[in-house]
Structure 1
Amino acid sequence: MVRSLGQRNCRSWYGPGGLHPTHLGDTLSNSRYTIVHKLDHSNHSLSWLTRDSATNTWRRIDIVLASPEVTKFHANAVERDLLAHAADAARADARGSILELLHHRGPNCDHLCMVFPLNGTYNCFRWTVQGGGRDKTEMNEAWLVRQCAKLRKDRAEESDGSEAQAPENVHAITAEEMLAILGRPRLSRDDQVPRYLVLRPDRIEEDFDFWLSEEAFQQ
């Protein structure tokens, strides 16, 4: 049975056959991927922002519910993309297609982990937010780069007034900047909950910086 996940997690979802109790700072795939922040959750998985130490890039990893039916569904759904891009990882990265399937052994069972780029034309990292609505502006690579450029500009003006350099791409954003953009990870409001019950970032409102930029008029 698939559980419907709300804005907050419930500790009962993390029993046998349930979700993987993921902590900030945990690593996957022999310490290659480090968990930095939560991005979203769906009915089947929890989506995490991770840093890939092998390629020095940002990745999104969806850790799937430890259910054979759900695992099979997700594996079948992404198999075609994996086969299509098996010989061209760079193309998959550029398009935002799935890069790899991992299996992680947790206290509740084995979990399928799906590794996605944090960039790409077709990539968006969230589906629904609090109240069942959607972000007014998509959380994607372009949004993250714009937010980082604004952050660097504001910090430069506050310090010495120098001109700030916008990041070349999402991977050039530092971990500290990423946390400033998304907000520091927060636990559920109940102080007694386990540390793995992390809230996702708040709903993104209208991105006025984008609509006032030259980029908006080019679309």
Structure 2
Amino acid sequence: MKSYKIAPSILSADYANFESELKKLEATGADYAHIDIMDGHFVPNISFGAGVVASMRPHSKLVFDCHLMVSNPEHHIEDFARAGADIISIHAEATPHIHGALQKIRAAGVKASVVINPGTPVEAVKNVLNLVDQVLVMTVNPGFGGQAFLPETMDKVRELVVLREVNQLDFDIEVDGGIDDETIGIAKEAGANVFVAGSYVFKGDVAHQVQTLKEALHD
């Protein structure tokens, strides 16, 4: 069975104090720092680029899970690999060259992850599942924090579990959007094992919120 991992999204953190925010996350026993990269084109918002990731890298031993919500992500892979990304997630919808882009991530020595939006069928990534270490299922529409979890996206998680077993593959299934102490159990039951949570983690005491998520996983 895949181990469970908590991946707080720093999109909801205090941007002026990333170093201290990362230290707080490490102290909670979180597994990943989920870093949302937005270009203002593929999604409406703009967040931060590879330079910001590079500046954070010396201050944290957390796995840097970089989610590229950008058009033509293949143009940015090397920059984020150099910046210290451990995992790079790219959207199936963002490039016509998804095979090549995933191969480029792996060639850079980084774990490769493919993302599907709520409106994108699993069929769109079926032919690249042998190239990935992770599949990220968006459980909200990407680009904004604080949205409500879309339960119908769990059908995609269940479908991915079946495809992984049938094809004897070994990728993680990550969910992102609207994850809290209630929805994390729904995602776990569907078959997800990596859980991104932003607004929920940073809306209160970070250590308490992460602990609550961990406890919810073991209920």
**TM band (smaller chain):** under 0.3
Question: Which structure: larger Rg?
Answer: 1
TM-score, normalising length: structure 2? 0.25
Structure number with higher helix proportion: 2
